[in-house]
Amino acid sequence: MTTPRLPREDLTAAMAARRELGPDYDDAFLETVVDRIEQTLDARAAAAPRPRRSAQAPEPRRGERDHSLALAILSLLAAIPLSAIGVVNAGLPGLIFALAGVVLINFTYNFRRY
């Protein structure tokens, strides 16, 4: 299926008519050109195949932002001092406890929508 193209001949003729009519008809000329461009864009949008949505990923609610990347970066930054504090105070169990807390926070945030 071919997508409709802008009628270049029509636009060329409209430009020639605009030159002949002068600046008094600029508003009418612009409205005509914009209408033709909008019609062509609407026809292209109608002819374009729409992507299928994945059944696994839910669509985010309107106005809701995804802060997963920010949380991941902050978790990495927080994990460094938390793991150091855990190792100094409790050894390997302290390290495991500190990192498990960071993982638990990320896990609950990312799966709260399901």
Confidence (pTM): 0.43
Q: Residue 34 in contact with residue 6, Cβ under 8 Å?
A: no
> How much is the average pLDDT of 5-17?
72
Which candidate, 77, 63, 85, 81, places its Cα nearest to that of 106? 77
Select the highest-mean-pLDDT range: 54-58, 67-71, 105-109.
105-109
pLDDT of 60 > 60? The answer is: no
For the chain, the structural domain boundaries read: 8-47, 68-110
What is the rounded average pLDDT of the residues 44-73?
71
**pLDDT of 65 above 60:** yes
> Which DSSP symbol is given to 12?
H
Length of the chain: 114
What is the DSSP secondary structure assignment for residue 58, as one 8-state letter? Answer: P
Q: pLDDT tens digit string along 27-48?
A: 777 787 788 788 888 888 888 7
- Statement: residue 15 has pLDDT above 80: no
Distance of alpha carbon 68 from alpha carbon 60, whole angstroms = 13
In the numeric block, which tokens belong to residue 75? 């978790």
